[in-house]
Amino acid sequence: MTEDDADGPLIRAAYRQAEAIDAEPGRSSASAKVRLVAWAAGAMAEGYLRSRLFVGGMLFSIVVVVMGVASDSSVWKAGYITVGLLGVSLLIGTWTRPVSFGRQWAVGVGVFGVDVILLATSSSTVL
């Protein structure tokens, strides 16, 4: 995996636009600069959304662990605690290691989705 794999397609497009402007310093058009700003804004928005997904997934995983601790059934208790801790460890591992762009999104959406499903079905099983 190269460093470009972790950046994502939007930031790579912004890099290409910046290099195109730098290649012709006296002849860069206003539209090229607008494209650069648009790609950079898109890349920043994507990065912000990805980080918010990770923070939300982390919070939901912690809530799932707490719900597991509060459960009366030993089967549900073990399941919720395992899934919550697995979600936390996957998110931390994806956040701290150099992982490809697609895998970062897949792990974030997967953990968030599983946590939401567990929280939505918890009223009849845990409480």
24-38, 86-100, 110-124: the lowest-pLDDT one: 24-38
CB 67 within 8 A of CB 125: no
Number of domains making up the chain: 1
Q: Which domain holds residue 76?
A: 3-125
Residue 69: pLDDT over 80: yes
Sign for the pseudo-dihedral over CA of 98, 99, 105, 110: negative
Query: Cα 89 from chain centroid?
Result: 14
Give, in order, the Cα–Cα distances in Å from 43 to each of 1, 4, 11, 27: 20, 13, 5, 25
Residue 99: pLDDT over 60: yes
pLDDT of residue 122: 75
The predicted model scores a pTM of 0.74
Q: What pLDDT, in 10s, does the model give residues 32-49?
A: 777 778 878 888 888 899
Helix (H) or strand (E) run with residue 9 in it: helix 9-23
